[in-house]
A = this chain, B = another copy of it.
Amino acid sequence: MSDLTARAEELDAADELAAKRAEFVLDDVVYLDGNSLGALPAVVPGRVADVVSRQWGELRIRSWEESGWWTAPERIGDRIAPLLGAAPGQVVVGDSTSVNIFKALVAAVRMAGDGRDEILVDATTFPTDGYIAASAARLTGRTLRPVAPAEVPDALGDRTAAVLLNHVDYRTGRLHDLPALTAAAHRAGALAVWDLCHSAGALPVGLDEHGVDLAVGCTYKYLNGGPGSPAYLYVRAEHQDRFDSPLPGWNSHAEPFGMRPEYEPAPGALRGRVGTPDILSLLALEAALDVWDGVSVEAVRAKSLALTDFFLECVSAYVPSGRVESVTPVPHAERGSQVALRCADAGEVMKRLIGRGVVGDFRAPDVLRFGFTPLYVGFADVERAARVLGEVLD
Contacts and interface: CB of A to CB of B under 8 A. Distances in A.
B248 A132 contact: yes
A231 interface: yes
Contacts of A387: none
B96 A96 contact: no
A311 interface: no
Interface residues of A, number: 79
B39 A274 contact: no
A361 B61 contact: yes
Interface in A118-169: 123, 126-128, 130-132, 134-135, 139-140, 146
Interface in A93-133: 95-99, 102, 106, 123, 126-128, 130-132
A280 B226 contact: yes
B69 A57 contact: no
Contacts of A275: 95-99, 128, 231
Given A247-B132, A248-B135, A250-B128, A277 B37 contact: no
A33 interface: yes
Residue of A49, A123, A227 ringed by the most chain B CB atoms within 10 A: A227
A261 B123 contact: yes
Contacts of A69: 227-228
A180 interface: no
Interface string A43-75: 011001100110111101101100001000000
A97 B276 contact: yes
Given A96-B274, A98-B247, A226-B56, A146 B261 contact: yes
Given A97-B276, A139-B139, A259-B363, 19 more contacts: A37-B64, A39-B57, A40-B57, A45-B57, A49-B49, A55-B227, A95-B95, A95-B96, A96-B249, A99-B99, A106-B139, A127-B250, A128-B250, A128-B275, A220-B276, A227-B278, A228-B276, A228-B280, A278-B281
5 contacts: A61-B359, A98-B275, A135-B246, A228-B280, A280-B281
